[in-house]
Amino acid sequence: MRKEIIGLCFEIQVCRDGQRGVDMNIYLMRHGETDWNRARRLQGQSDIPLNEYGIKLAEKTAEGLEEVEFDAAFSSPLCRARRTAEIVIGTRNIAMETDDRLKEINFGAGEGTYFDPAKQDPAHPMHNFFCRPECFVPMEGGESFDQVRKRVGEFLRERIFPLEGDYSNILIAAHGALIRSVVNGLAGIPDREFWQLGLPNCAVSILSLKGGELTILEKSRIYYDAPVNARP
């Protein structure tokens, strides 16, 4: 069975005998706010920690998810995602596994770019990332959208799909561009509309895995008031 996410085909091994039809929910959560989020700078794989407000957002999200019985948790190794996951996990007796394939898109020489000058200047090397994402070409050392889709697809295929039938609820803490790559793909949204999905810090998109098929249950839910940084 195959599931296609924006041109990337995941080879999915369907559930083991007797386990087909059991739903597994995947809570795909963006990290809390950082100082670079607030300053409207591209973080990429720069390891920027949560700020005080980002910790509060994670705590509010933890309250909203306190009734969910997570069986396992996965996170990007970047500290802003890892700390968000730790706060949401709280006192649950589950292990959290980090995976490099959950890191944010690498902007290479573009890391640290301020949003607004790049958006306003068509000659800026990061302009297309914001304004014409279907034409985006990464700067030196950076990644394309296709490269991000490839690695997150490998992660889902290798680490998440085999858990179907054994686990009911999985937490994944990651980043804005990576999460949009997954959700947009499932929704059939092309790259030219990449930013259509508003994704505030700590927003949670809930996916269902059943019989080897991923579907979207809910997009970009927040558990606090006054969302910030919903769009780049």
Catalytic residues: 31, 104
Which residues does 175 contact at the CB level (< 8 Å), separation at least 6? Answer: 30, 31, 43, 76, 78, 81, 102, 103, 104, 105
What one-letter code names the amino acid at 123?
A
Other Cβ atoms less than 10 A from the Cβ of 47: the count is 12
Cα distance between residue 76 and residue 181, in whole Å = 15
Cα distance between residue 168 and residue 209, in whole Å = 9
Q: Is the dihedral of CA 110, 111, 112, 116 positive or negative?
A: positive
Cα distance between residue 161 and residue 13, in whole Å = 7
Other Cβ atoms less than 10 A from the Cβ of 131: the count is 16
Write the burial class of residue 55 (CB in 10 Å: 0-12 exposed, 13-18 middle, 19+ buried). middle
